[in-house]
Structure 1
Amino acid sequence: MTPKKTVDNTIQFITLIDGDLKLPIIAPDEDSGPLVKALVEDEPGKNLIGYRTWATMKELAQLLSKVTGLKAEVVTLPKSEPPVGVPPELAQELSDNFLY
């Protein structure tokens, strides 16, 4: 999801995800190595859920506003709309996934 800037310089995160849903956040350049190491060192068949923190889209928009001074908001599209910026051959599949 790429943020969009409106004519009044508001940054919009346009998504099918509810703005209040907590999501796992990771810093790939710092977190991936330790997570992969943990998987490699553990026994086969183990699963790992790795994250740095949990945050909502609304919290991320507030953080962006605080850091940049720009207004930021989350725009949640109806689940019936295809995801923005997704190739047509994937749009239906992803739309179905968001219904769960």
Structure 2
Amino acid sequence: MAPNEYARNLETKQGLNIETAANSPVMSAALTHFVFSSLSDAERWSGGKYAWNFHFEGKADVPKHIKNKIPDLAAKMSTVQVGIYASNWKGGMERPQKQEDGSFVVQIPDVAEKKLPWFFVQPDTGVYVKALLENEPGKHVLAFSEMTTWREFWELWSSMRGVKVQVQVVSVESFSSPCQRFSGGISRSH
């Protein structure tokens, strides 16, 4: 099974477990507002162009399932969709590779200088959830902390840590494939 397929299955399973718990008789009786963290249905919104973003699809499947199968829970539901977790660099594909001289190399996708919605989980999640809870159910927010480019993110990371970072721009396909990343003799030490 491909990693994206595994991610979709895991996201869907976790979401359905949350749905089951929220819809249990004890919880349902006391629940007045159900906030679910979802993502957009990338395949649908791109007209089929992005059919491989299974992580997003798995998170998008749960609210659709709730709306279609559990109308009582759907009536209490609001959703929050967050941007790119700024903390993903710590263990994800974006992890900078330390070089022998103490500097770092990081690869970014070739998406020009497009600003992206970065999200800082610890300080900002509660702000958006609180806003949802202060309103009637049925609201949906797109949450982000700051709009910035990949390059600006890594320049900030570099300056905050007082280290030098070399940014390498690679194709989106290469960036999305961990097996193809950091070839050409770049150190894999952490």
Interval containing the TM-score (normalised by the shorter chain): 0.5 to 0.7
Q: Can you list the C-alpha shifts for 1:17-49, whole angstroms capped at 9, x where unaligned?
A: 536221222221111011112123323332212
Give unpaired runs (5+ residues) of structure 1.
87-100
Residue 79 of structure 1 is matched in structure 2 by 172
Higher RCO (CA 8 Å, separation ≥ 6 residues): 1
Identity of aligned residues (%): 28
Separation (CA, whole Å) in 1 of partners of 2:173 and 2:153? 24
Aligned 1:47-86 pairs, distance under 5 A:
47-81=140-174, 83-85=176-178
Q: Does the C-alpha gap of structure 1 residues 51 and 82 become closer, same or farther in structure 2, counting only changes over 3 Å? A: closer
Give unpaired runs (5+ residues) of structure 2.
1-93, 180-190
| Structure 1 residue 82 displacement after superposition | 5.8
Return the TM-score normalized by structure 1. Answer: 0.64
Q: Does the C-alpha gap of structure 1 residues 80 and 50 become closer, same or farther in structure 2, counting only changes over 3 Å? A: closer
Q: Does the C-alpha gap of structure 1 residues 25 and 79 become closer, same or farther in structure 2, counting only changes over 3 Å? A: closer
Q: Is 1:32 the counterpart of 2:125 in the alignment?
A: yes
Return the TM-score normalized by structure 2. Answer: 0.38
Q: Is 1:9 the counterpart of 2:106 in the alignment?
A: no
SS, match of residue 32 in structure 1: helix
Q: Does the C-alpha gap of structure 1 residues 9 and 47 become closer, same or farther in structure 2, counting only changes over 3 Å? A: same
Residue 21 of structure 1 is matched in structure 2 by 114
Q: Can you list the C-alpha shifts for 1:55-100, whole angstroms capped at 9, x where unaligned?
A: 11111222122222221133222133262438xxxxxxxxxxxxxx
Q: Which has the larger radius of gyration?
A: 2
Say whether the 8 Å CA contact 2:132–2:139 is kept in structure 1. yes
What amino acid is the match of 1:75?
Q
Separation (CA, whole Å) in 2 of partners of 1:19 and 1:7? 29
Separation (CA, whole Å) in 2 of partners of 1:54 and 1:77? 21
Separation (CA, whole Å) in 2 of partners of 1:80 and 1:25? 21
Say whether the 8 Å CA contact 2:107–2:167 is kept in structure 1. yes
Higher percent of residues as helix = 2
Runs of 4+ in 1 over 3 A off after TM superposition: none
How many corresponding residue pairs? Answer: 86
